[in-house]
Structure 1
Amino acid sequence: MSVWLFDLGNTRLKCAPLQADGRPGPVLAVPHADADFEARLAQALPSQFDVAHLASVAPPALTVRVLQVLGRHCTRTTLARTQHALAGVRIAYAEPRRLGVDRFLGLLAMHAEGEGAALLVGVGTAITIDLLDATGTHHGGRIAPSPTLMREALHGRAPHLPLQGGHYTAFACDTDDALASGCEGAAIALVEQSLRDATTLVGHTPQLRVHGGGAAALLPHWPQARPAPDLVLRGLAVWARSETAVDA
């Protein structure tokens, strides 16, 4: 049976075939703001396959569009949803629907790897931070604007401030570098403080795993961090193996 995994975020759709070993295969990322998004997605997929598993944090209208494309290629689609407990993970949120499914799937993926406590950092439109201990207990998390979103917000209120450009430095000597240093520095400091708080809570320093489209710019600041670019898709594979996968 041929199965594909789909991670629909605020900026991009990432997809990959599910391999025989239960892990995602090569990942394709398509920005969904592009005018030819649906055509590019259709072209990238096999003409026919059996099952599509979709995780979406995008607006409902976009989710429906993607489901319609998938429906033309496969016989069954499922939509992942956050749950109180699954595959050994227990979330901290009293209302599961309030925890983004991408964060939930990241927790599933990390626990499935069995490498102990972890601080999961997602860098996309927002920065999300979640703490998972070795027993699979989620201790909650934090959400903040990503450096990109900070720049966009500043530009929106003060259009003379550039959207892009500049380099991180301790104390900048021009506006572009000051913006890059301030916005990246805010994200760096948030993660480092979260790591200290997590260490106090679980009694040792958890591993730091970073994923998302904006991860590459921040990873050099955390030598101990490990990139996890397909973390959500790996978690979706765990979810798909559960008995809770129902048709969308």
Structure 2
Amino acid sequence: MILLIDAGNSRLKLGLLPAGAPHRRSDTQAFDHADPRALADWLRALPETPARAVGVNVAGGDRGDAVARIVEQACGCGIEWLRAEPQTLALRNGYDHPEQLGADRWAAMLGVLARQHAGHPPFMVASFGTATTLDTVSSENVFLGGLILPGPAMMRAALAHGTANLPLAQGVATAYPTDTNQAISSGVAAAQAGALVRQWLAARTRFGATPDIYVTGGGWPEIRTEAETLLAQAGAARSVPTRPVYVESPVLDGLAAWVLQTAQRPE
């Protein structure tokens, strides 16, 4: 059994690749970084101890080291950390300095790429987490680049903490807000959805084809209605209806693809 680890800014997410069914990843488990005991208890309660652990870490060195210590104590193995590189499997990295790309973004693109068939259309991976990232991959499996902006919760928190009179808003997005909570929630949803549509339009212009969109992250439900509405309007104006596909844990899917495909390489 192989342990898959996504150490994100907000949470730690894990999955398992069972030895008897290596192409069927387990359901995702999530833990708070502030509760290391929960992770240790979960690992020790597994019916089979993982023999190997692979992961990505964007939570910082200290948190990564803490997770590694727990895994070492519970499983007796270290963690192989995947990092962005010029090419991994079939995915090529278009960053000027490939090592600067976040490992979670790289793994998520690998996870979505593993779902594709030969001759697939270009696609976007939109992750709405602590930060929002919008990445585009061509039909030739080249990562062209992407956007980073504050995630929905961070946007709301910035307004609450950086101003004297604005609340930490919880409201429903609407076209014409009539109270402050609605105004903030609508502004956040519009900013997130607008960035997504901007990249969708950029990809349409670049490729002359409609990119598929895969979305993930805890912030997606907050901006989903706004994003789907704007995408539908943009698509209808070009007679190319489009609808995002939700993927629960593309980072773990990418780690699984990396493990499985590298294991199949000839010596």
TM-score (norm 1): 0.91
* Unpaired segments ≥5 residues, structure 1: none
In structure 2, the partner of 1:5 is: 4
**C-alpha distance in structure 2 between counterparts of 1:88 and 1:54, whole Å:** 19
> Is the 8 Å Cα contact of residues 23 and 234 (structure 1) preserved in structure 2?
no
User: 1-side partners of 2:71 and 2:99: how far apart?
Assistant: 24
Q: Which residue pairs with 1:17 in the alignment? A: 16
Distance 1:159 1:59, change over 3 A: farther
Any idea what SS the aligned residue of 1:181 has? helix
**Cα shift at 1:177:** 0.2
| Other-structure match for 1:119 | 124
Task: Measure the CA separation in 2 of the matches of 1:189 and 1:159.
Answer: 27
2:42 pairs with one of 38, 41, 44? 44
- Give distance in 1, aligned partners of 2:175 and 2:108: 32
For 1:92, the equivalent position in structure 2 comes to: 94
CA offset digits 1:15-67 (Å, max 9, x no partner): 0111424242111111223xxx1111111124532111121101111110011
Contact 2:137–2:143 (8 Å) recurs in 1: yes
Identity in percent: 30
Give the Cα separation in 2 of the matches to 1:64 and 1:159.
Answer: 38
Q: What is the aligned partner in structure 2 of residue 148 from structure 1?
A: 153
Aligned-partner SS, 1:61: helix
Other structure's SS at 2:195 match = helix
Is the 2:43–2:75 Cα contact (8 Å) retained in structure 1?
A: no
Q: 1:84-233 counterparts in 2 under 5 A? A: 84-115=86-117, 116=120, 117-220=122-225, 221-222=227-228, 224-233=243-252
Establish whether residue 234 from structure 1 lines up as the match of residue 236 from structure 2. Answer: no
1:100 and 1:60 mapped to 2: Cα distance?
14
Displacement of 1:188 in angstroms is 0.6
206-215 vs 42-51, which deviates more? 42-51
| Range with greater deviation from structure 2 (218-227 or 150-159) | 218-227
TM-score, normalised by the number of residues in structure 2:
0.85
CA distance in 2, matches of 1:227, 1:217: 14
Q: Which residue of 1 aligns with 2:67?
A: 66
Pick closer, same or farther for the CA change 1:70–1:175 going to 2, 3 Å.
same
Aligned residues: 240
Gaps of 5+ in 2: 233-242
- 2-structure distance, mates of 1:177, 1:164: 8
Question: In the aligned structure 2, how far is the partner of 1:201 from the partner of 1:57?
Answer: 30
Q: Name 1:83's counterpart in structure 2.
A: 85
Equivalents in 1 of 2:141, 2:22: separation in Å?
23
Question: 2 CA distance for matches of 1:158 and 1:203?
Answer: 43
| RMSD between superposed Cα atoms in Å | 1.6
